[in-house]
Amino acid sequence: MKKKILTAVLMLGMIVSLAGCGKKFTCDLCGEEKTGKSHTQKILGEKVLICDDCYKELKELGSLFK
């Protein structure tokens, strides 16, 4: 019984931390876990979530091909 309650509390804590203000996400480009600004980009028809660093790199790359 006690174990079940503990699991429930732990799960709740995880949900709260996920929904919390510290926006944690995994960058689809470099695969690193990042906090802070995220950018949604459409690359080759697919929606990807990328970090600020990769976004800047992409922007630089994009300017080369223009």
Residues in contact with Zn ion by CB under 5 A are 27, 29-30, 51, 54
Question: Of 24, 25, 22, 27, which Cα lies nearest the Cα of 56?
Answer: 27
- The residue among 15 and 30 lying less far from Zn ion, judged by its C-beta, is 30
Residue 15 Cβ vs Zn ion, minimum distance, rounded to whole Å: 25
Cα angle 38-42-45, degrees, rounded to a multiple of 5: 150
- The residue (of 9 and 52) whose beta carbon lies closer to Zn ion is 52
Residue closer to Zn ion by CB (options 7, 52) is 52
Cβ–Cβ under 8 Å, residues 41 and 58: yes
